[in-house]
């Protein structure tokens, strides 16, 4: 079914220019951000956005995050109430997505799945910044994995899932953060919609109060699919000792260790790549307990979904 051959673009002026041209022409281009690789399309082009859903095999009721290079661009697409501006000031560019009231006609309706809000993000990765400025339009981009699978943190991961389905991947090496962005909504007050690469504690410190926790049975709630980020292997959590395959954390014997030093930032950056590596080797992956603080909350969220029954 391979209808296009996927170009692998180097992180050069030429690679960026080619990627930007392809996006402007309505093609799909995967690109690096500091969190994970995104599968980008022009957010104002309905055909291009529809192609994302096809490439990912994703249920179309799930709305997409739009990427722009700076707050000035963001302000042309969404309303930015004062609390949102404060968070933007503190954490953009960075691993934070804000869900805000969308301005009429700002993006194609497929991007928001008909919701009155838009999820928007300003990535810090220099290549993403250059690509967004060169393409000069809002870029819709979910994580560049097939729906339900582990998010890609290298260009090779993208190729493993999307080769032949997308026009190009811009290769920026491994992602520094390694977990998707933290998503905050404002309906009515600041609410954590998805734990991610910006620790909840950092957002709460900037706000000066705790975030509301999100609870919903609505299908367009973020990450509402229990099974997600899933390897083919079965995943068993909170295992400290086993004769089988163990993904470790901290000082312990293990097949691979997310961070022997017990550093959650290092663990987050390694998580998806190590899950993929162990998935090649075994049918059951045991995973050591991860402290539920800071980035550990987002790591545990992804691990629970990886372990959920399918």
- Residues 252 and 242: their CA atoms lie apart, in Å, by 11
**114 vs 64, 104, 108, 194, CA distance in Å?**
11, 11, 9, 20
Site for ligand TXA in 224-253 (CB under 6 A): none
Distance CA 153, CA 145 (A): 10
Site membership for ligand TXA, residue 75 (CB under 6 A): no
Alpha-carbon distance of 180 to 194, in angstroms, equals 9
Binding of residue 153 to ligand TXA (CB under 6 A): no
Residue for token pair 């309905």: 46
**Part in contact with ligand TXA (CB under 6 A); list of ranges 6-14, 16-24, 141-149, 296-304:** 141-149
**Both structure tokens of 182:** 């933290």
Q: Which of 18, 33, 154, 254 binds ligand TXA (CB under 6 A)?
A: 33
- Count of residues in the chain: 310
* Three-class secondary structure of residue 194 per DSSP: strand
Residue 264 within binding range of ligand TXA, rule CB under 6 A: no
Which of 118/285 has CB closer to ligand TXA? 118
Q: Given the complex with Mg ion, which of 130 and 176 has the nearer CB atom?
A: 176
Q: Which residue is nearest to Mg ion (CB)?
A: 143
Residue 232 exposed, middle or buried by CB count within 10 Å (0-12, 13-18, 19+): exposed
| Interaction between residue 112 and ligand TXA (CB under 6 A) | yes
Minimum Å gap between C-beta 180 and ligand TXA is 4
143 contributes a contact to Mg ion by CB under 5 A:
yes
Query: Of 8-16, 117-125, 203-211, 278-286, which segment contacts ligand TXA by CB under 6 A?
Result: 117-125
Helical (H) or strand (E) element with 74: helix 71-77
* Nearer Cβ to Mg ion (39/132): 39
Give, as one character, the DSSP assignment of residue 128.
H
Residues in the site for ligand TXA, rule: CB under 6 A?
A: 33, 35-36, 38, 62-65, 97, 99, 112, 115, 117-119, 121, 141-143, 180-181, 183, 193, 222-223
């Amino acid at each position: 079914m391979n209808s296009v051959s996927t170009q692998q673009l180097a992180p050069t002026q030429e690679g960026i220019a080619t990627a930007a041209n392809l996006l402007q022409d309505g093609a799909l281009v995967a690109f690096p951000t500091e969190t994970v690789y995104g599968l980008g399309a022009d957010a104002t082009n309905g055909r291009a956005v529809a192609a994302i859903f096809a490439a990912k095999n994703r249920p179309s009721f799930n709305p997409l995050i739009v990427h722009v290079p700076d707050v000035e661009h963001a302000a042309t697409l969404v309303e930015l109430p004062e609390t949102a501006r404060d968070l933007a000031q503190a954490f953009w560019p960075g691993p934070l997505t804000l869900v805000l009231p969308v301005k009429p006609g700002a993006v194609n309706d497929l991007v928001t799945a008909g919701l009155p809000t838009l999820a928007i993000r300003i990535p810090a990765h220099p290549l993403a910044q250059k690509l967004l400025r060169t393409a000069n339009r809002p870029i819709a981009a979910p994580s560049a994995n097939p729906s339900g699978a582990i998010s890609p943190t290298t260009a090779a991961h993208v190729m493993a899932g999307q080769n032949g389905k997308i026009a190009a991947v811009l290769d920026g090496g491994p992602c520094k953060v390694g977990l998707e962005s933290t998503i905050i909504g404002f309906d009515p007050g600041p609410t954590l919609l998805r734990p991610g690469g910006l620790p909840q504690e950092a957002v709460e410190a900037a706000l000066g109060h705790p975030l509301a926790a999100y609870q919903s049975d609505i299908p367009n709630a973020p990450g509402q699919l229990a099974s997600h980020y899933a390897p083919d292997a079965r995943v068993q959590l909170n295992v400290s000792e086993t004769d089988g395959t163990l993904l470790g954390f901290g000082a312990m014997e293990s097949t691979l260790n997310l961070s022997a030093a017990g550093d959650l930032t290092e663990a987050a950056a390694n998580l998806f790549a190590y899950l993929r590596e162990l998935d090649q080797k075994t049918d059951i992956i045991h995973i050591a307990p991860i402290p539920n603080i800071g980035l550990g909350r987002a790591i545990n969220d992804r691990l629970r979904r990886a372990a959920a029954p399918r």
